[in-house]
Amino acid sequence: MTDNKTILVTQSSMPPFEEYVDEIRSIWETHWLTNMGEKHHQLEEDLKAYLGIDNIALFVNGHSALECVLEAMDLHGKVITTPFTFASTTHAIVRVGLEPVFADIDPVTYTMDPNSIEALIDEDTCAIMPVHVYGNLCDVDAIASIAKRHNLKVIYDAAHAFGVLKDGVSSACFGDASMFSFHATKVFNTIEGGAVCFHDPSLKEKLDQWKNFGITGLETVEYVGGNAKMNEFAAAMGICNLRHLQDEIAKRKLVVERYHERLEGVPGIVMSKPQPHVTPNYAYLPVVFEDDFGATRDEVRDSLAANKVFSRKYFYPLTSDFECYEGRFDSSATPVAAHIAKRVLTLPMYADLALEDVDRICDMVLATRHA
């Protein structure tokens, strides 16, 4: 038992120290630290094999990957997206000069509700950017048919969905492109890192040039690119972590199952349900505290924090309510997203979280209820 110790909302997965040291040893021979070296190449190959995809480009982080793919696809106009996401999704759209248009979310999966997309499409719409929230897969079939009907690109923010499968097909395969984040807090990490997986092979060269200042030859620079290359130490971390990923996901499963045993069915508590045909990655543990729970989400968060257990209001606020977008969007137009954002809390969730600690956390959550 581990009474009274601090529990953070997540703990980054790391390979055994010796394994990482072995992996980076060759870097001391080559002195090749970045710019698409041996480790970078190796991680691309490992990921292609793991995800069952043909095309991938690695990046310094997921956010840069998202900005880069939007630019490389040469999009202009409006992008239909969701406000129930991390800052990155909306910021990427805005920072490359596109205009976000917010669809509402589904009350069960918290992903974009396909029924709310079509009414938002007009002649300026160029793309849809849905998010696989908490690793819950979007309704990829419905989104694909809307995109086809209106000739729109689909770029998934798949930052939460690494390792998730639908009928055995990896989440990397849906839409025209999918962005993954390999940030330290994600199910699979390269410390900081990210990737774009895509179908059109001609994007590969463009993305690799875009992340390297738009340099296309020894003396030619054809694009106004940025600098978003993954370095060799990050790639080496990814090579190691990928070897242990299935074990990590199996351990996460036990933690999620324990949370569900303890909290599922409690009046006022809503938890994510398994999606049919989907193999999950157990990335997060979102709990929605409805008004009949007997305590508000904020009261639960505060009482956990008083016991040194740190949860996260994720996602709150909606991106459409950020100060930097004041006056531009109206979050009352996405009522389901607004409802969930006010009531959701993600509880501590990581592979090495002890089941006794899960019990302790659940006891604290339940004790918050007013008599």
Ligand X SMILES: *Cc1c(COP(=O)(O)O)cnc(C)c1O
Return residues touching ligand X (CB under 6 A): 61-63, 85-86, 88-89, 131, 157, 159-160, 181, 183, 194
Nearer to ligand X, 125 or 181 (CB): 181
- In whole angstroms, how close is the CB of 84 to ligand X at the nearest point? 10
Contact call for residues 344 and 290 (beta carbons, < 8 A): no
Rounded CA-CA distance 204/332 in Å is 40
| Burial bucket for residue 299 (CB in 10 Å: 0-12, 13-18, 19+) | middle
Rounded CA-CA distance 80/101 in Å is 5
Residue nearest to ligand X (CB): 62
Cis omega (within 30 of 0) for bond into 315:
yes
Q: Which two tokens stand for residue 190?
A: 């390269």
Query: What are the angstrom distances between the C-alpha of 13 and each of 50, 261, 349, 352?
Result: 18, 25, 12, 9
- In whole angstroms, how close is the CB of 136 to ligand X at the nearest point? 12
| Residue 271 main-chain phi, psi, to 5 deg | -120, 160
Nearer to ligand X, 84 or 293 (CB): 84
Query: What are the angstrom distances between the C-alpha of 254 and each of 42, 164, 168, 238, 251?
Result: 31, 17, 21, 24, 5
Nearer to ligand X, 63 or 258 (CB): 63
Nearer to ligand X, 60 or 365 (CB): 60
Q: Which two tokens stand for residue 281?
A: 């990655």
Nearer to ligand X, 181 or 212 (CB): 181
- In whole angstroms, how close is the CB of 258 to ligand X at the nearest point? 24
Query: Coil, strand, or helix at residue 204?
Result: helix
Query: What are the angstrom distances between the C-alpha of 268 and each of 107, 296, 365?
Result: 15, 10, 12
- In whole angstroms, how close is the CB of 260 to ligand X at the nearest point? 22
Nearer to ligand X, 55 or 346 (CB): 346
Nearer to ligand X, 86 or 102 (CB): 86
- In whole angstroms, how close is the CB of 263 to ligand X at the nearest point? 23
| Burial bucket for residue 7 (CB in 10 Å: 0-12, 13-18, 19+) | buried
- In whole angstroms, how close is the CB of 130 to ligand X at the nearest point? 11
- In whole angstroms, how close is the CB of 222 to ligand X at the nearest point? 26
For residue 292, the 8-state DSSP code is G
CB burial of 40-55 (b: ≥16 within 10 Å; e: otherwise) equals bebbbeebeebbebeb
- In whole angstroms, how close is the CB of 86 to ligand X at the nearest point? 4
Nearer to ligand X, 183 or 258 (CB): 183
Q: What is the DSSP string of 133-165?
A: GGGPPP-HHHHHHHHHHHT-EEEEE-TT-TT-E
Nearer to ligand X, 110 or 293 (CB): 110
- In whole angstroms, how close is the CB of 61 to ligand X at the nearest point? 4
